[in-house]
A and B are shown apart, each in its own frame.
Chain A
Amino acid sequence: MDIKSSLHQIKEKFKGNKFAPAFNAFHTFLYTPNDVTKGGTHIKAADDLKRTMNMVILSLVPCLLFGIFNAGYQHYAAIDAANGVIREASLFGNFINWDNFILGAIKVIPLVVVSYAVGLIVEFIFAVIKGHEVEEGYLVTGMLVPLIVPVDLPLWMLAVAVIFGVVIGKEVFGGTGMNILNPALTIRAFLFFAYPTWMSGDKVWVHGAVERMGTPEAISGETILGSYAQNQEILYSLSDMLIGYIPGSVGETSKILIILGALFLIFTKIGSWRIMLSTILGALFMGLIFNQVIDFGLITETSKFYGLMSVPYWEHLLIGSILFGAVFMATDPVTAAQTLKGKWIYGFFIGFISIMIRVFNPAYPEGVFLAILLMNVFAPTIDHYVIEANVKNRLNRLKIKSS
């Protein structure tokens, strides 16, 4: 007897048992269940929730791998910089090597493990208490969370935040598919407000910068956004930003890999290209407005906003996490707007508000997660008015016809 049928027998034997949902979750993760819907139904898609989630995870894996190497690379680069050596990044030279990988893996893999373990334990507990099957929603959230936190974040903080995010952000609303806010961003928001010293500033983005603070071996962990906000000179070239040899949250730095992930999501029709495109348009639009303000001389170099306002509008896409947010966060099918017109409005405002927060609020050098959470809340309202407008249009059409 093979494993599949013996597992199935165990399932039949303990049907109705309290822990059946927990067992079934593993079972269906490994094997297709015996009773699946077959042909002739109204559903024309071949993918189920688990398949959808796996596709998103696949699109995130390159970002994770790059993040591992980058964690190591940034650490060693910062040490070099402290010793007066400015590194020239080269992909197969000083970027992809064992030193970077080992250091990065030691820092990043625990984040992934803690995120998944804690999140899934919470999901399992809720499934057992409420007596429903374990839902797949956390598969993607668990992957997103390690990618959007600083590399040096203490693991217990991550665990607390994951419990908060899954329980308050998702389970209280009824579990996967019922949540108002994106759970991964809820987790990040919790961390940001609860432990601000670990989530922002000029130290946390590079491994080792916090513990070396105040010692002779001190290194810098400043992000590009932070440098701009303080009107400092930027040490990174555009190709560095595009490929991702820059400090930042674990998985958000490589713009090329994010774009690849985006193409993959669009090709498999899992992510909405409308939201991605409109988010980028919104960001560009806000960036253009700020550039115009600078051009007309309304804000001069003495202003504290000058640094970020004078960033060319297209460069806003290459720094910070706006692309990552647009591709992997804003497109979350549960919390985004559902109507086609609504998606354009929703995305546009995410981009627009992200850049506005980025420039205007020096306490929050990055506003993408706040903007997406805000628009998550407004998404149902947008949908409501889009539908109302459509109803009104149709009524008008009816009147013209009948008169």
Chain B
Amino acid sequence: MGLLSKRDSKLILDPLSDNNPITIQVLGICSALAITAELEASVVMSIAVLFVMGVGNVVISLIRNIVPSRIKIIVQLIVIATLVIIVDLVLKAYAYELSKTLSVFVGLIITNCIIMGRFEAFALANGLWRSFLDGIGNAFGYAVILVIVGFFRELLGAGTLWGYPVFGDAIDKTGLYAWGYENNGFMLLSPMALIVVGIIIWIQRSKSTHLIED
């Protein structure tokens, strides 16, 4: 990467693998459970978090020297809340159908521990450009897991991808269903999201053994 120094590109690439917010830091699990039953919702959620984290980290980084530490949590919450409301309004304006199902969860971005965690751990101590890179890096790390989980849950649970039937029609018994295949209803329940995340963690740790703690 010519554009970024080695130190900066590490900020983006680390959260994708060895310092992934979901699989390594185990943050933001709640939304990974709640919205990954459909691929589309996972992607929209990822984009929303990408926006909130990128902009939020920049804003926090800008005001980090003028905010008294006694009220810094409140200020952080205000920043996140403002950004979340922007996302919510944009969704309502341009993707109304989707916003109806996602609205609750978009509101819950505010409780996503990754965002507060990055504000606290990084943006409060670093400059603007590096905070921005850290924000989108972590958001991408979050997005990768969300999309993988959403892909498998929608494919196996509902037999569709992005709303389009992949295996054939479940009711008319065409395609795979004619052979007796049935959708796995368990995949649509949230325990299965945890198990899928667990399997991803398992695969990741068996590939890069230095991540195993003991």
Contact = CB atoms under 8 A, between A and B. Distances in A.
A308 to B, nearest CB: 25
Contacts of A172: 198, 202
Contact of B184 (A154, A168, A194): A194
Contacts, number: 24
A197 B183 CA distance: 11
Given A168-B195, A172-B202, A195 B180 contact: no
Contacts of B180: 154, 156
Most buried by B among A190, A193, A196, A198: A193
A193 B195 contact: no
A172 B195 CA distance: 11
Contacts of A238: none
Nearest to B182: A195
B186 A190 contact: yes
A157 interface: yes
B202 A193 contact: no
B182 A193 contact: no
Contacts of A190: 186
Nearest to A190: B186
Contact of B186 (A156, A193, A198): A193
Contacts of A194: 184-187
Nearest to B184: A194
Contacts of B187: 194
B179 to A, nearest CB: 9
A195 B170 CA distance: 13
Interface size range on B against A: 10 to 19
Contacts of B202: 172
Contacts of A154: 180, 182
A157 B182 contact: yes
Interface size range on A against B: 10 to 19
A197 B182 CA distance: 10
Contacts of A193: 185-186, 189
Contacts of A168: 195, 198
A177 B139 CA distance: 40
Contacts of A198: 182
B149 to A, nearest CB: 15
A197 B189 CA distance: 16
A215 to B, nearest CB: 16
Contacts of A156: 180-181
Interface string B195-207: 1001000100000
A262 to B, nearest CB: 32
Contacts of B185: 193-196
Interface in B145-195: 180-182, 184-187, 189, 195
A172 B186 CA distance: 19
Contacts of A157: 182
Contacts of B198: 168, 172
Interface string A156-200: 110010000000100010000000000000000010011111100
A289 B73 CA distance: 51
A145 B195 CA distance: 22
Interface string B76-117: 000000000000000000000000000000000000000000
22 contacts: A154-B180, A154-B182, A156-B180, A156-B181, A157-B182, A160-B184, A168-B195, A168-B198, A172-B198, A172-B202, A190-B186, A193-B185, A193-B186, A194-B184, A194-B185, A194-B186, A194-B187, A195-B182, A195-B184, A196-B185, A197-B182, A198-B182
Given A190-B186, A198-B182, 12 more contacts: A154-B182, A156-B181, A160-B184, A168-B195, A168-B198, A172-B198, A193-B185, A195-B182, A195-B184, A195-B185, A196-B185, A197-B182
Which 10 interchain pairs have the tightest Cβ spacing?
A: A194-B186, A193-B186, A194-B184, A194-B185, A195-B182, A154-B180, A196-B185, A168-B195, A193-B189, A190-B186
